Amino acid sequence: MNLNLKRNFQTFNKEFEEYCESKKTTAKLIAVSKTKPLSQIIELYHLGQRSFAENYAQELRDKNIDNLSDINAELAWHFIGQIQKNKIKHIVGTATLIHTVDSYEKAALINSLCEQRKIKQNILLQINISNDKKKAGIKAEETKTLIRKIANLTEIQIRGLMTITEFFEDPEESRDFYKNLKSLSLEVESELLSRPELSMGMSNDYKVAIDEGATIVRVGSKIFGERKKIL
């Protein structure tokens, strides 16, 4: 047992649950496990964490294969990295939810794979709510049009919206962006089959995101500690 990991998770999870309770919300905690070994994911599984997010398609594939062959823990994988067309095959059907669909072309490729494999796939649309040129995602004003186009793809279901803002030392600087994504979700709710999920907020600003309506929060460093960079 990695005692630092256990302490980090239990400390943060308590803080997270107490904050959600104070805001009368049931936001879901996703542990961002990119570059972390499956052994640490399984340790968190035994501590009660079920949902994990990966940024790299092949890493997601490999961890899922290793888990199924050796441990078979009931893990809910999420994909939060940029989608590369030649690696979509590793994501579809493995990820419970793909957070980063930002074009009809990618949605159509996902749908085609689903048809081949006779499965359904839940997705989120990635919105560049801050219009940051360094971030992926569609513009807010393009959202409704994309939703309507994807509605013709029968094997995928849009479950909501996702955004990644730039890192701010002061979490309050992200508040308006999260508020705007919430407003956008209300605008497009009638286009979807269910109330939109809102995937927003990370380790440094998750409380602000919850304040503004996040239903899914993605947390890595506060649980796993700082991660090594992939060169």
**Is 140 within a domain?**
yes
- Bridge partners of residue 54, in order along the sequence: 79
Predicted confidence at residue 193, as pLDDT, reads 81
What is the per-residue pLDDT across 22-46, written as a single tens digit (0 to 9) for each? 999 999 999 999 999 999 999 999 9
C-alpha to C-alpha distances, 140 to 14, 97, 185, nearest whole angstrom: 34, 21, 10
**Is 70 within a domain?**
yes
Predicted confidence at residue 194, as pLDDT, reads 87
Predicted confidence at residue 231, as pLDDT, reads 45
H runs (alpha helix) in 154-215: 175-188, 206-211
Closest among 65, 23, 29, 58 to 44, alpha carbons compared: 29
**Is 229 within a domain?**
no
**Is 178 within a domain?**
yes
Domain of residue 192, residue span: 3-19+31-224
**Is 230 within a domain?**
no
Predicted confidence at residue 228, as pLDDT, reads 62
Predicted confidence at residue 33, as pLDDT, reads 97
Tokens representing 145? 């049009």
**Is 8 within a domain?**
yes
CATH label of the domain that carries residue 171: 3.20.20.10
- Ranges under pLDDT 50 in the chain: 231
SS3 32: strand
**Is 75 within a domain?**
yes
**Is 24 within a domain?**
no
SS3 222: helix
Count the residues in the chain: 231
Predicted confidence at residue 229, as pLDDT, reads 58
* Total structural domains within the chain: 1
Predicted confidence at residue 215, as pLDDT, reads 98
Predicted confidence at residue 166, as pLDDT, reads 87
Q: At 64, which amino acid appears?
A: N
